[in-house]
Amino acid sequence: MKRSGRSGPPRIWCVAKPAGPTSFDIVREARRVSDYRRVGHAGTLDPFAEGLLVLGLGAATRLLAHVEAQTKVYRARVVLGQETDSGDPSGEVIREAEPSFDPTTLDAVLGGFVGEIEQVPPRYSAIRVGGKRAYDRARAGEEFDVPVRSVSVDSIEVLECSPEHLELRVTCGKGTYIRSLARDIGIALGGAAHLGSLVRERTGSLELAGAADGENLQRDWEVGRGVLGPEAVVADWPRVDLDADRVHRVRNGIQPDPAWWGLPGDEDLPEKIALYGPDGQLVALAGTHSERGLRLSVVLPEES
């Protein structure tokens, strides 16, 4: 695939991150091989974790907050019997206790973690506590409490079950820590547990299948593997096609008018909408804003 240059068109790049490198390591390598100066990602994967890392190239970085807010699907291996200080294999074992359960008990316990739940993020996490990253305070040996947060878990499916581990598929919302979920499942089963491995399989409508190999980014960039247009991240949003004049007005910051798509004035506006030009290119995203109707949240430049 020909390099696009530092002002290339907005692109989404789905990459299969391997275990080992950080998410920023992947961003750095993607920047090098693509020659885009602006590259970002939609949601960090810990170094031990694998799977789908969604990158935004060029102006597509403006879409990453919307991608990060979408539902995610993970395959998680919960190792039973040991809790670690980090919640994953990299940490030190701080508690050992074998859980005791049968299929009925397991179903009931897992059901208690579905819906809107309260969760304490790991001490080794990037959230800020008292103005500092939690992992910095933990590494410095400081005593501190991580505040509870509310997160959303849509479903937990049991793929494998043994006395040593659980293999789960978890569908959840933004901000859910699967490490915390593994720890808390172990406690609820009367024992201890940590997250042994994690694979992100999906973010919104974007899937791991077809993603570029994170260990061969140069090769996969050249053949366009995993490279998508920005419209891929809003494929399931309500869509409105604009004529050239309205595209020009939107790109100049004119807010969209409900009359453009024929809604009566008293009809509820959609919460979010994707605006396309006559050439099929994604032009902008808009969302409901208080009493003022739809307001532009992202405007993309015209592709050359």
How many domains are contained in the chain? 3
Is residue 33 located within the same domain as residue 90? Answer: no
Identify which of 176, 92, 107 has the alpha carbon closest to the alpha carbon of residue 141. 92
Kindly state whether residue 149 falls inside one of the protein's structural domains: yes
Domain containing residue 96: CATH number: 3.30.2350.10
The DSSP bridge pattern shows strands 50-57 and 11-17 to be antiparallel
pLDDT of residue 303: 78
Kindly state whether residue 304 falls inside one of the protein's structural domains: no
- CB-based burial label for 272 (10 Å; 0-12, 13-18, 19+): middle
DSSP-derived 3-state class of residue 78: strand
For residue 226, the surrounding DSSP H or E stretch is none
Q: What are phi and psi of 89, to 5 degrees?
A: -65, -15
Q: Which of 152, 184, 201 is the last residue of a domain?
A: 201
pLDDT of residue 293: 67
Q: Which of 201, 222, 255 is the last residue of a domain?
A: 201
**What are the start-end ranges of the H helices in 45-119?**
64-68, 103-111
Is residue 126 located within the same domain as residue 168? Answer: yes
Kindly state whether residue 88 falls inside one of the protein's structural domains: yes
Domain holding 160, by residue range, is 72-201
Alpha carbons 181 and 201: distance in angstroms, whole number: 17
* Contact criterion met (CB below 8 Å) for 180 and 120: yes
Is residue 82 located within the same domain as residue 196? Answer: yes
Whether 213 is catalytic is no
Q: What is the pLDDT of residues 126-151, one digit of tens each?
A: 778 877 787 788 788 878 788 899 99
Is residue 222 located within the same domain as residue 146? Answer: no
Is residue 214 located within the same domain as residue 192? Answer: no
Is residue 225 located within the same domain as residue 281? Answer: no
Alpha carbons 296 and 260: distance in angstroms, whole number: 14
Kindly state whether residue 2 falls inside one of the protein's structural domains: no
Which positions of the chain have pLDDT values less than 70? 1-7, 261-269, 289-293, 304
Residue 252's region, left for phi above 0, alpha for psi from -120 to 50, else beta, is alpha
Is residue 159 located within the same domain as residue 104? Answer: yes
Q: What is the pLDDT of residues 31-62, one digit of tens each?
A: 999 999 999 999 899 999 999 999 999 999 99
pLDDT of residue 161: 95
pLDDT of residue 288: 74
Q: Largest Cα–Cα distance of the chain, in whole Å?
A: 67
Kindly state whether residue 1 falls inside one of the protein's structural domains: no
Alpha carbons 284 and 297: distance in angstroms, whole number: 8
Is residue 274 located within the same domain as residue 167? Answer: no
Domain containing residue 273: CATH number: 2.30.130.10
pLDDT of residue 1: 58
Is residue 41 located within the same domain as residue 56? Answer: yes
pLDDT of residue 186: 96
pLDDT of residue 267: 58
Kindly state whether residue 39 falls inside one of the protein's structural domains: yes
Is residue 42 located within the same domain as residue 159? Answer: no
- Which residues partner with 119 through β-bridges? 149
Kindly state whether residue 37 falls inside one of the protein's structural domains: yes
pLDDT of residue 263: 55
Spot the catalytic one: 25, 35, 46, 243: 46
DSSP-derived 3-state class of residue 296: strand
Is residue 195 located within the same domain as residue 90? Answer: yes
DSSP-derived 3-state class of residue 208: coil
Is residue 220 located within the same domain as residue 195? Answer: no
